[in-house]
Amino acid sequence: MLARRPWITATLASLAALGLPRVARAAAQPRVLLLGDSMIAGALGLFLERGLRAAGHDVHRRAKSSTGLARPDFFNWMKEARAQVEAFPDADGVIVMFGGNDVQGLRMPERKWIRWPDEGWAEEYARRVNEFADIVAPPGTKLYWIGMPVMRPEKFHARIQRVNTIYRAEMAIRPDARFVDIWRLLADESGAYTHHVEIDGKRTRVRAGDGIHLSPAGAHVVEAHVRGVVVGELGGNTPPAAGVPESDADSEP
């Protein structure tokens, strides 16, 4: 189903259309740490890194696919977060995106588990979100936690809504944190999954074939929004967003 979203054209044409305040470039180059899973390892993270650098920010990106906060036995993001903060100290802002690999059981010490539907899952996951946030964003550091987009697989869709609810709630109680909601950026008018949206009058594919990840065009849409939020608070210029990749745009208007 094609979702007609005229405002996406404005988003890609100018970040001013987001209604964000114009902020003069800070005297010092804002330092931004960018962390996450395959979304940050892939096109979205790459575009954010490039876009923020073009906006005058000093950016350090670290990402690893197939990881999250659920399985520290596979990849320990708490340990990695400390290493990244040490490698890139005094960040003004930190951008984080997890979730796709966390909608599963939580590995606990002594090889124990909290299964996905079990009582206590949400409480333990929220604790991990806050532990991670405490490591990467001490008081005075802005934290931007990007929510997950709408998903096509029905089971996955419902689970992603659950983790987004946790991210939103936990960021709301942190004084320097913000939940960056991207759900409706790539959804249809009802908030449901769609594979295509209309950008610059073209029917444009914004999702990868798995219905989970983003196409390059979808990554550009999300990047423009997130970059606008970050630049609006940390300062910097607003370079024009990249156009829609030809491979994502269908031939018919």
State the pLDDT at residue 8. 55
**pLDDT band per the 50, 70, 90 thresholds, residue 250:** low
User: In the predicted model, what is the mean pLDDT of residues 196-222?
Assistant: 94
Share of the chain above pLDDT 90, in %: 77
Mean pLDDT score across all residues of the chain = 88
**Domains, in order of start, for the chain:** 2-248 (3.40.50.1110)
Contact 167, 179 (CB under 8 A): yes
Whether residue 134 is predicted with pLDDT greater than 50 in this model: the reply is yes
Stretch 181-202: mean pLDDT, rounded? 92
CA distance linking residue 231 with residue 93, whole number of Å: 10
Which of these ranges, 29-33, 110-114, 245-249, has the smallest mean pLDDT? Answer: 245-249
The pLDDT of residue 252 is above 50: no
pLDDT at 12 over 70: no
Q: How many CB atoms lie within 10 A of CB 74?
A: 13
Q: Average pLDDT in the 192-220 region?
A: 94
Q: Quote the pLDDT of residue 248.
A: 60
| pLDDT tens digit sequence for 145-158 | 999 999 999 889 99
pLDDT for position 21:
47
With 0-12 / 13-18 / 19 or more C-beta atoms within 10 angstroms meaning exposed / middle / buried, residue 45 is buried
In the predicted model, is pLDDT for residue 18 greater than 70?
Answer: no
Between 200 and 131, whose confidence is greater? 131
pLDDT value, residue 245: 55
What mean pLDDT comes out for the span 94-119?
95
**Residue 191: pLDDT over 70:** yes
Q: Which residues contact 230 (CB under 8 A, 6 or more apart)?
A: 32, 52, 57, 93, 95, 142, 144
The DSSP code for 241 is P
The pLDDT value given to residue 6: 53
How far does Cα 202 stand from its chain's mean position? 25
64 or 13: whose pLDDT is higher?
Answer: 64
Residue range 222-239: average pLDDT?
Answer: 92
Q: Is 93 a residue whose pLDDT tops 50?
A: yes
